[in-house]
A and B are shown apart, each in its own frame.
Chain A
Amino acid sequence: QVQLVESGGGVVQPGRSLRLSCAASGFTFSSYAMHWVRQAPGKGLEWVAVISYDGSNKYYADSVKGRFTISRDNSKNTLYLQMNSLRAEDTAVYYCAREEEPFTIFGVVPIWGQGTLVTVSS
């Protein structure tokens, strides 16, 4: 079945870096754009970044632009989020999510992972 499994979360000090991974299975990963969406504890959802099916286009929320980098390895069916210069306000559950239709980026995401918690604290 279609599945997304995030990993790489944990506790990290402010200013440090962390890389999240999202392993995809059950569908043709290389055909779909992928998103990262986060949710701070007790707060709402916040879109973070999206990458096109082939990695040629990447877009970011203003809050992470210049600090976070989204990437993918289609040969490994894996999505990544490199997070640098982390701040306390980056503390959240990070979800990876798949677009509805192949080869498109419309922000319609029916497939979500279970999330991985990132805690930025000294």
Chain B
Amino acid sequence: QSALTQPASVSGSPGQSITISCTGTSSDVGGYNYVSWYQQHPGKAPKLMIYDVSNRPSGVSNRFSGSKSGNTASLTISGLQAEDEADYYCSSYTSSSTPNWVFGGGTKLTVL
């Protein structure tokens, strides 16, 4: 299974909006609406932020939103806050002979 492609880093100032892309293929991101996004602070376990492309779990700020176009999914964070600085990973179900899941390489978000 090949990892999904994410930019290594993005940055933004407090209050601004940023978007992180996640590019796959028609066998994963483009073929299914099972794209999730996770936030991970250093030394901590990942936290689910978005699932099924655009759904937010209870308790996740509505500043976080997800979308998908073709083989590329996107995570948008609006009104950037200092605590948003973290690593972000996308994941997707991927078709093969058996069910599998694949993660992106991760994006380091820096709040300037």
Contacts and interface: CB of A to CB of B under 8 A. Distances in A.
Interface of A: 35, 37, 44-47, 50, 59-62, 95, 100, 105-110, 112-115
Interface string B18-51: 0000000000000000101010100001111001
B61 interface: no
By secondary structure, the A interface counts as loop
Given A45-B38, A45-B46, A113-B45, A107 B91 contact: yes
Contacts of B69: none
A40 B41 CA distance: 15
Contact of A110 (B34, B57, B89, B101): B57
Contact of B99 (A45, A59, A95): A59
A45 B52 CA distance: 19
A61 B1 contact: yes
Nearest to B96: A62
Contact of B91 (A47, A60, A95): A47
A46 B106 CA distance: 11
B100 A61 contact: yes
